[in-house]
């Protein structure tokens, strides 16, 4: 046989063998997963809403995967410390991030020299749940509707105040989104935390707030706050009479504070898919959905591709808004 032809056939045979072997290798790449305890890192303090839902998820995943799943709280720097820990972890699916919208899309536009890039250093596993916002006004104010708020804010630019949990928080950004979409000017009053801001809206020291719905429901039902609209795509279960912003002809105000489960970049696709399928099964359980609702969230599963698109889209949305408004972190 011609030596050149022989060498060519050998190369061809090697390529064919590799082509046959690759699907088998991919199929088997999750065969040993999980092989040890899975850790879900919550970059916020224990006892909060995120921590509560993470523990609900961890319990469900433990049963689905027949493997221990624990929650670790690694706090600091608005979640950046915990996120960096996961970004630097071995990409094998055993260390995961409970990633909030702020952490995954907002922080990198607020903080300089972040030691990780949420878009490059993580692989989205699944969208987990959403936290709707509600636009509330002090009940004693003559603001009966969303349109009233817009009209009065335009008539008195900068004289109606809105409180937030701090610069760059979701309660601030939704307020900035409101001003951007309606061209109405409000006065932003940042607080150090959600509680003090909400207390001052109830007391009448500030006028309105773009609050996460779970925080305001009690005050709305007690008559201390008037709910003008929710920013979610559908009405909120415990506020069924409050219209959505889209119903009121302001679809550009539609947004929720979502949370995704993320793995370090480079985690095998088969492992990501196995985790996503387990998450889907957990969130399909009506009892789990009810527990998440009690904690202020609405279960909303989406797989890896949709979750990735969500992160990328909101990174662009909030990044451009932060730049246009000149927002910086506290």
Please give the pLDDT value at position 112.
85
pLDDT category at 27 given cuts 50, 70, 90 is very low
Instruction: Find tokens 């922080």 and name the residue.
Output: 107
pLDDT category at 78 given cuts 50, 70, 90 is confident
List, for residues 168-223, the tens digit of each pLDDT value: 999 999 999 999 999 999 999 999 999 999 999 999 999 999 999 989 999 999 99
Is the confidence at residue 50, as pLDDT, over 80? yes
Same domain, 194 and 271: no
Is the confidence at residue 14, as pLDDT, over 70? no
Is the confidence at residue 7, as pLDDT, over 70? no
Residue 330 lies in a domain: no
Domain final residue pick, 224, 253, 282: 253
Q: Of 230, 207, 205, 204, whose CA–CA distance to 217 is shortest?
A: 230
Same domain, 139 and 248: yes
Same domain, 137 and 213: yes
Domain final residue pick, 253, 286, 309: 253
Is the confidence at residue 15, as pLDDT, over 50? no
Tell me how far apart the terminal alpha carbons of the chain are, to the nearest angstrom.
76
Same domain, 244 and 162: yes
Domain final residue pick, 253, 281, 301: 253
What CATH number is given to the structural domain containing 222? 3.40.190.10
List, for residues 224-241, the tens digit of each pLDDT value: 999 999 999 999 988 999
Same domain, 221 and 143: yes
What CATH number is given to the structural domain containing 44? 3.40.190.150
Q: Which domain holds residue 111?
A: 38-131+257-325
Is the confidence at residue 129, as pLDDT, over 80? yes
- DSSP letter for each residue of 47-99: TSHHHHHHHHHHHHHHHHHTS-EEEEE---GGGHHHHHHHHTS-SSSSEEEEE
| Cα–Cα distance measured from residue 143 to residue 128, given in angstroms and rounded to the nearest whole number | 35
Same domain, 234 and 145: yes
Same domain, 202 and 64: no
Residue 209 lies in a domain: yes
Residue 184 lies in a domain: yes
Is the confidence at residue 22, as pLDDT, over 60? no
Same domain, 170 and 117: no
Same domain, 148 and 249: yes
Domain count for the chain? 2
Same domain, 272 and 248: no
Same domain, 196 and 237: yes
Q: Where are the beta strands (DSSP E) in the chain?
A: 38-42, 69-73, 95-100, 122-138, 161-164, 187-190, 208-212, 225-230, 256-264, 298-302
Segment 34-45 shows an average pLDDT of: 96
């Amino acid at each position: 046989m011609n030596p050149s032809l022989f060498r060519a056939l050998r190369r061809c045979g090697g390529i064919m063998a590799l082509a046959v072997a690759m699907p088998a290798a991919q199929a088997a790449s999750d065969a040993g997963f999980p092989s040890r305890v899975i850790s879900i890192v919550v970059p916020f303090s224990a006892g909060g809403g995120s921590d509560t839902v993470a523990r609900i998820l961890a319990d469900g995943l433990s049963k689905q995967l027949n493997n221990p799943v624990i929650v670790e709280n690694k706090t600091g720097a608005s979640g950046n410390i915990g996120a960096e820990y996961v970004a630097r972890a071995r990409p094998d699916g055993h260390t995961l991030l409970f990633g909030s919208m702020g952490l995954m899309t907002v922080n990198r536009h607020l903080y300089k020299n972040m030691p990780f890039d949420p878009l490059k250093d993580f692989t989205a596993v699944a969208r987990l749940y959403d936290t709707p916002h509600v636009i509330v006004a002090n009940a004693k104010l003559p603001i009966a509707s969303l349109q009233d708020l817009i009209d009065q804010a335009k008539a008195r630019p900068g004289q109606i105040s809105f409180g937030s949990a701090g610069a760059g928080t979701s309660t601030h950004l939704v307020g900035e989104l409101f001003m951007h979409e309606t061209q109405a000017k409000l006065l932003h009053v940042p607080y150090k935390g959600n509680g003090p801001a909400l207390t001052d809206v109830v007391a009448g020291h500030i006028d309105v707030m773009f609050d996460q719905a779970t925080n305001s429901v009690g005050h709305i039902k007690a008559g201390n706050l008037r709910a003008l609209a929710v920013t979610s795509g559908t009405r909120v279960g415990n506020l069924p009479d409050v219209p959505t912003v889209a119903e009121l002809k302001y679809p550009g105000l539609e947004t929720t504070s979502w949370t995704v489960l993320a793995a370090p970049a480079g985690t095998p696709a088969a492992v990501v898919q196995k985790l996503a399928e387990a998450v889907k099964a957990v969130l399909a359980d009506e009892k789990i959905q009810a527990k998440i609702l009690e904690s202020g969230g609405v279960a909303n599963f989406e797989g890896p591709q949709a979750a990735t698109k969500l992160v990328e889209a909101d990174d662009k949305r909030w990044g451009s808004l932060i730049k246009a408004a000149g927002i910086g972190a506290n």
